[in-house]
Amino acid sequence: MNLRPLLHSLWKNWIRPLALPFLCIAAAKSAVADINYVPTGSMQPTILCGDVVFINKLAYDLRVPFTTARLARWAEPARGDVVVCFAPDDGTRLVKRVIGQPGDTIELRREILYVNGTPAPYAPLATDARGVRDLEPTERDAALFARETLGAHSHAVMALPGRPALRSFGPVRVPEGHYFMMGDNRDNSRDSRFFGFMPRTEIIGEAKAVVVSGDLNHWLRPRFNRFFTGLE
């Protein structure tokens, strides 16, 4: 059986017309914008398990698609930004908050964050606040919540008093070309306290918004109140 006519037809009518659009979409996902599914609670209550977040890959620079090579740079991650990055120890794709920039001294004293020797301002956070109210009742009851101000960002953080955790750390100085990352769920986050400083080259974009959200505890029941909401 001669398969050449069939293969030629497939190439001409299907594969070739779809190849360029597919390549363009893949390049855009690599260098312009993407989405990221979040399966863990390390950024609660800002980002919940089951959220899908939008990533602006042009927030800081323009990269050659499918590489880490930069074509242009116009900004650097700021304290308080929520970014997508690759863990320096095992390459896991993570969503974390920038706590320290190059040259900063970072310290954690009994859950209180100090940047360059100055404690971050904290304020009480009600249990009906955005993000907190979407947690399971058992999670809310086991946690303490506060609003932390870091740079231009004011955002929710949580602590889990009943869980063994690294509540004091440092002081450490962030080296040039690196950043210090933490999760908003301070007692349940694998971050720079454990894997070290984040190289700038491993930060691929800024997480800007929740696109869609499904509750993992209830068969991915949609959380419509979280659809298309910006991140603090």
Domain hosting residue 8, numbered range = 1-31
Q: Tell me the whole-structure pTM to 2 decimals.
A: 0.87
Domain identity same for 22 and 128 = no
pLDDT of residue 12: 61
Domain identity same for 26 and 98 = no
Domain identity same for 104 and 190 = yes
Q: What is the pLDDT of residues 11-29, one digit of tens each?
A: 566 666 666 665 656 545 5
Q: Using alpha carbons only, what angle is made at residue 19 by residues 13 and 24, rounded to the nearest 5 degrees?
A: 145
pLDDT of residue 163: 87
What total number of domains does the chain contain?
Answer: 2
20-24, 84-88, 95-99: lowest mean pLDDT where? Answer: 20-24
> Cβ–Cβ contacts within 10 Å for residue 55, how many?
23
DSSP 5-45: HHHHHHIIIIIHHHHHHHHHHHHHHHHTEEEEE--S-TTTT
pLDDT of residue 1: 55
Domain identity same for 10 and 96 = no
